[in-house]
Structure 1
Amino acid sequence: MTLTTKLENVLDSLISPTKTELKNALLQLDITVNDLASLPEPFEGKPYNRKLLYKNKEVEMLVMNWSQLECAPHDHGDSHGWIQVLSGTSLNTVYEISQNGLPTELFHEFHHKGKIYFAPKKGIHKMKASNETDLVTLHLYSPPITGMKVYDLEKCAACVVSDD
């Protein structure tokens, strides 16, 4: 069975999936780095490169290959989902919105190969590869991400990422 067929068999049946249904789908897929042909290489000077594996009106699945640079703090709009570490170690920093409307760091945590962690609606975080590891992560969100907000803490600004 091809990866595309496997994804369709599991993800096509999801309708407005709950947190638990999304996690169960991710676990059922049981995807490893070996299942992913031609991983996207991180771009020079960029935190990651990503590849869309599957998308319909209800869910989207991405694989991301990370450099040692961290991404900017961001949310996932009105989407929620799960992030699975397929290889390496992730440093994930979690934020809350302060009174000035900008994120303030709450804590950071390391996630090693095999870890699955939740990304709530409007939850703000940033990630990067840690410990000089080759970080590859799998992301399953519902609904597909729109209205993602990215924060520039140096400029005290935020922008909404265009869907196109």
Structure 2
Amino acid sequence: MALNVAVLNALKSPDKADLKEALRKLDCKLEDVLPELNESDGKPYYRKLLFQNDEVELLVMNWSALECAPHDHGESHGWIQVLSGVSKNTVFEARDRYLPRELFEELHEEGRLFFAPRKGVHKMKAEGGGELVTLHLYAPPITGMKVYDLEACAACVVSDDCGAWWPEEQRQRVKEIRLAYSENS
């Protein structure tokens, strides 16, 4: 994939607007990332790191029919661009050591960009049976992502090589957290 890395290397402590503008300047199309995609191997998505430095990371993901777990992006924030298909994004309110509460769902079609704020909790899935491919630009690179298991009333800070699902390997479980139900859950 021919990626204009100068656009990404120019980002220094980028804010929300800087990241969105960089994603627009990259002007990535589905055909640009198709060679980078692979099977999800029973997971909600396959992800490929396209670029990373100390400031940002750019990933492409192709989604299976599975929904990812509710999760945050640690101290990172960023934009998600739908390159193909339709994404169903469910946004949650998370408070301290309480089970996150679902706030709303939204659909994002091909070409749409949507923002993932610091500590924002959401989950995604392909909607409508089509192929979902998304491009993600985060600052700083994601570390300390927290994944939630709503049925077990638990959360887990996962290792950087784990996606937005409950880790199967013990080494990917950095810290497990028991959650309490709140009156609003």
TM-score, length basis structure 1? 0.94
Q: Show the counterpart of 2:133.
A: 136
CA–CA distance in structure 2, aligned partners of residues 3 and 150 of structure 1: 33
Q: Which amino acid aligns with 1:141?
A: Y
Counterpart of 1:30 in structure 2: which amino acid? D
Find the counterpart in structure 2 of residue 23 from structure 1.
Answer: 20
Q: Give the corresponding residue for 1:11.
A: 8
Aligned to 1:87: 84
Please report how far the alpha carbon of residue 41 of structure 1 lies from its aligned counterpart in structure 2 after TM superposition: 2.7
Q: Which amino acid is 2:27 matched to? A: D
* Pairwise CA distance, 1:99: 7.2
Distance in 1, Cα, partners of 2:140 & 2:97: 29
Shift of 1:163: 2.8
Structure 2 CA distance for partners of 1:158 and 1:32, relative to 1, 3 Å: same
Q: Is the 8 A contact 1:75 1:123 kept in 2?
A: yes
TM-superposition CA deviations, 1:80-135 (whole Å, max 9, x none): 00000000000000000257511110000100000000000000000000000100
- Does residue 1:59 correspond to 2:56, yes or no? yes
Q: Quick one: percent identity of the two aligned structures?
A: 63
C-alpha separation in 1, matches of 2:100 and 2:142: 20
Relative to 1, partners in 2 of residues 1:122 and 1:99: Cα closer, same or farther, differing over 3 Å?
closer
Confirm whether residue 34 of structure 1 aligns to residue 31 of structure 2: yes
Letter in 1 for 2:30: V
Q: Distance in 2 between matches of 1:157 and 1:11?
A: 36
Q: How many residues align?
A: 161
The answer to whether the Cα contact below 8 Å between 1:39 and 1:65 also exists between their aligned partners in 2 is no
Kindly indicate whether residue 117 of structure 2 is the aligned counterpart of residue 124 of structure 1. Answer: no
TM-score normalized with structure 2 length? 0.83
Q: Secondary structure at the match of 1:38?
A: helix
- Distance in 2 (CA, whole Å) between partners of 1:13 and 1:100 is 38
Q: 1:3 corresponds to which letter in structure 2?
A: A
Displaced runs of 4 or more, over 3 A: none
Letter in 1 for 2:136: H
Give a deviation string over 1:50-98, Cα, whole Å, max 9, x none.
Answer: 0000000000000000011100000000000000000000000000025
